[in-house]
Amino acid sequence: MLAQGHIARAVVGSACRSLSNIVFNRDLKRRHREAALKLDGGNYYDYLRQESAANLVDRLEDITRTFPKALELGSYRGELSKHITCRECVREGGGGVGGIKELIQCDFVAEELNGFEIVDGQMVVEEPGVPGLVSLSKDSFDEEQGLPFEDGSFDLVMSSLSMHWVNDLPMLLKRIKNVLKPDGAFVASMFGGNTLRELRYCFYLAEQERRGGLSPHASPLAKASDIAGLLQGAGFTLPTVDIDTVTISYPNAIVLMEHLVHMGEGTASLNRSYAVGTDTFLAMAALYQDMYGLEDGSVTATFEIIYMIGWSPDVSQPKACRRGSAQNSLKDLGKTDIITPK
SS3 content of the chain, % helix, strand, coil (to 5): 40, 20, 40
pLDDT recorded at residue 198: 95
| Spatial contact of 154 and 70, defined as CB atoms under 8 Å apart | yes
Write the burial class of residue 98 (CB in 10 Å: 0-12 exposed, 13-18 middle, 19+ buried). buried
Per-residue model confidence (pLDDT) at position 137: 85
Residue 295 CB partners (closer than 8 Å, separation 6+): none
Q: Does the pLDDT at position 128 exceed 60? A: no
- Assign 259 to helix, strand or coil: helix
| Whether the predicted pLDDT of 69 surpasses 90 | yes
| Residues facing residue 30 across a β-bridge | none
Q: At what angle do helices 253-262 and 197-210 cross, to 10 degrees?
A: 120
Q: Is the pTM of this model over 0.85?
A: no
Dihedrals phi, psi of 46, to nearest 5 degrees: -95, 20
Contact call for residues 218 and 268 (beta carbons, < 8 A) = no
CB neighbourhood size of 197 (10 A): 14
Q: Which residue type sits at 114? A: N
Q: For residue range 272-289, what is the model confidence (pLDDT) as tens digits?
A: 766 677 888 899 999 999
Share of the chain above pLDDT 70, in %: 79
Query: CA of 135: how far to CAs of 124, 159, 186, 249, in Å?
Result: 13, 18, 20, 38
Question: What is the number of residues in the chain?
Answer: 342
Residue 89 pLDDT: 59
The Cβ-side half-sphere exposure at 142, using a 13 Å CA radius, reads 13
- Work out the number of other CB atoms within 10 angstroms of the CB of residue 53: 25
The confidence band for 148, taking pLDDT boundaries of 50, 70 and 90, is very high
Helices (H), 88-194: 169-179
- Does residue 79 sit in helix, strand or coil? helix
Residue 88: predicted pLDDT: 59
* Averaged pLDDT, 85-95: 64
